[in-house]
Amino acid sequence: MKKLFLAFTLLTLINLSSCKKDETTKTTIVGKWQIDSYVITNFENTGKDQDDTKGESPRPTLEFKEDGNLHAIFYFKDPFSNNQNTIEDVKVKYTVNGDKLNLSGNLAFNHNSFTFSISNNILIMKRTDVSSIGNSGTYTENTTVTATRIQ
């Protein structure tokens, strides 16, 4: 009887532990992402941070496809007409090597390579640019793009 009870208890514990809900967080960059922010620190050596997507509606999207194509749509406010729906539609090829993302063209500005990480369906892409200031030296800008998986 003790062996039967022990076997039943063991089976019950195994069944309960296997019923745990699987938390599936995709760690692949493939999919559609909505940009939450595209922040550049020390923008053009001003000492100020600039979020180039702040206040945009709809939010910009990045779609990384299985075949190595990236389709990015950005909405910018036209400074002359104040039109919010001026669109920049970027289509480039991408490759991933570890945590490095390389693009065949520029995502924005001269941004064609990033390091990236994905956690809890949040994509964070980062890069550092060192630019020259005429003959007087250099300055550094750090770019961080944060996006949420939507597909």
Give the predicted TM-score (pTM) of the model.
0.77
Q: What is the pLDDT along the chain (151 residues), one digit of tens a residue?
A: 554 444 444 444 445 455 444 445 568 999 999 999 999 999 888 999 998 788 888 889 999 999 999 999 988 777 677 776 778 899 999 999 999 999 999 888 788 999 999 999 999 999 999 988 777 789 999 999 999 999 8
Domain boundaries, the chain: 29-149
CATH number of 29-149: 2.40.128.20
Q: φ, ψ for residue 79 (rounded to 5)?
A: -65, -20
